Amino acid sequence: MSRSLFWLSDEQWQRIEPHLPTDVRGVERQDDRRIISGIIHVLKSGCRWSDCPEAYGPPTTIYNRFARWARRGIWESLFRTLAGNGRSIDTQMIDSTHVKAHRSAAGGKGGSRSRLLAARAEGATRRYTHLQMLRDA
Q: Which of 11-15, 64-68, 78-82, 119-123 has the largest mean confidence?
A: 64-68
Mean pLDDT of 23-36: 84
**In a 10 Å sphere around its CB, with 0-12 CB exposed, 13-18 middle and 19+ buried, how is residue 42 labelled?**
buried
Q: Note the pLDDT tens digit of each residue in 35-78.
A: 999 999 999 999 999 999 999 999 999 999 999 999 999 999 88
Measured over the CA atoms of residue 68, residue 44, residue 9 and residue 85, the dihedral's sign is negative
- Are 49 and 29 in contact, with CB atoms under 8 Å apart? no
DSSP code at position 5: G
Output the pTM of the full model: 0.58
pLDDT, tens digit (0-9, with 9 covering 90-100), for 91-114: 666 676 666 766 666 665 555 667
Q: Percent helix, strand and coil across the chain, each rounded to 5? A: 60, 0, 40
Q: Sort residue 110 into left (φ over 0), alpha (ψ -120 to 50) or beta.
A: left
Domain boundaries, the chain: 3-72, 111-136
How far, in Å, CA of 18 to CA of 12, rounded?
11
What is the pLDDT, as a whole number, of residue 122? 72
